[in-house]
Structure 1
Amino acid sequence: MHFTEFDTRLAAYGLLISDDDQILLTWFNGGGRTEPGWTMPGGGVEFDESIEDAVAREVFEETGYTVDVGDIVAEHHFTLPRQGTRRPMRSQQFLLTATITGGALGTTETDGTTDFAAWVPLGEVTALHPRADIIELALDVLRQRNH
């Protein structure tokens, strides 16, 4: 399919790991469109911002932390078919490392799709349900780093 025949959504997420092996996750409330569940801090890239700027903005909105954004460590994409009058869509997701430079844990967005953020021990993440595919991607990255 030619790129003019479908919509594209860019999304960028921050991978934040504490010194005591906890990962920073957020609770997505579904926004009235989909099922709530655990995800990574991040989301849609605005039209005029870089992927790195999107991670910094989203992490602050969803967790209260300011961050220095590092490298892209993984990417993933999926497609959705045409639904009613909506065109087919490609979602392109990027996972970037990030380091906290300030702020305090607490969601700063108002009327958003994130209810709260939490530090979760890495050993407990697989017991969380439901959880977004971006978390699986992050766990894969962490497993590869440990081998």
Structure 2
Amino acid sequence: MRKKLRVAAYAVCVRDGRLLLARSPAAGGTHEWVLPGGGAEHGEDPHDTVVRELEEETGYDIEVTHILGVDSARNVLPGEGLRGPVDLHSVRIVYEGRVVGGELRDEIGGSTDTAAWHDLADVPALTRVGLVDVALRLWRERPVTGRVPVTPEV
């Protein structure tokens, strides 16, 4: 089985009790809310990645104010054609960011289709990826280790 490592950077941006999220297409024509951010390009510093990705996905310029922590996940993905399945290890660096410019807009031709602010109290009711919950725990708890234990799904 092929192995692949992906390094990505995401931002938790909270303003006036609202969290900035982007919406990504999911399997079966559904959508799920994700943190703005994404994969680092070869040679790109993750700090620069999160600033670039956030602008691409939301239209906002941010100032990174804090590194909240790192999350790691492994998934086996089905392969395409003769390449077979892939053991994907994602290392996700989570920053705190503050919007300093730009205007909210949707991404065109990218991995997300819209961006929006959501009341923090409403986030648990959203269809969202697990990283949103991990990142909010990092933001709220600020663990000295930069890591929150993840409870396996049953």
| TM-score tier after normalising by the smaller chain length | 0.7 to 0.9
Runs of 4+ displaced beyond 6 Å: none
Question: Is the Cα–Cα contact under 8 Å of residues 68 and 139 in structure 2 kept in the other structure?
Answer: no
Residue 116 of structure 2, aligned match among 97, 107, 118 = 118
Q: Which residue of 2 aligns with 1:52?
A: 47
Aligned match of 2:135? 138
Unaligned stretches of 5+ residues in structure 1: none
> Which residue does the alignment assign to 1:87?
86
Gaps of 5+ in 2: 143-154
How many positions carry a matched residue from both structures?
137
C-alpha RMSD of matched pairs (Å): 2.0
Write the letter of the residue equivalent to 1:55.
Answer: V
* TM-score normalized by the length of structure 2: 0.80
Alignment TM-score, normalising by the size of structure 1: 0.84
Q: Distance in 1 between matches of 2:86 and 2:120?
A: 38
Aligned to 1:28: 24
List aligned pairs for 1:66-105, cutoff 5 A: 66-81=61-76, 83-84=78-79, 85-105=84-104
Q: Shift of residue 88 of structure 1?
A: 1.6
1:15 paired residue number: 12
Report sequence identity in percent. Answer: 34
For 2:4 and 2:67, the matched residues in 1 are separated by 23
- CA deviation profile, 1:112-131 (whole Å, cap 9, x unmatched): 121111110100100101x1
Secondary structure of 1:62's counterpart equals helix
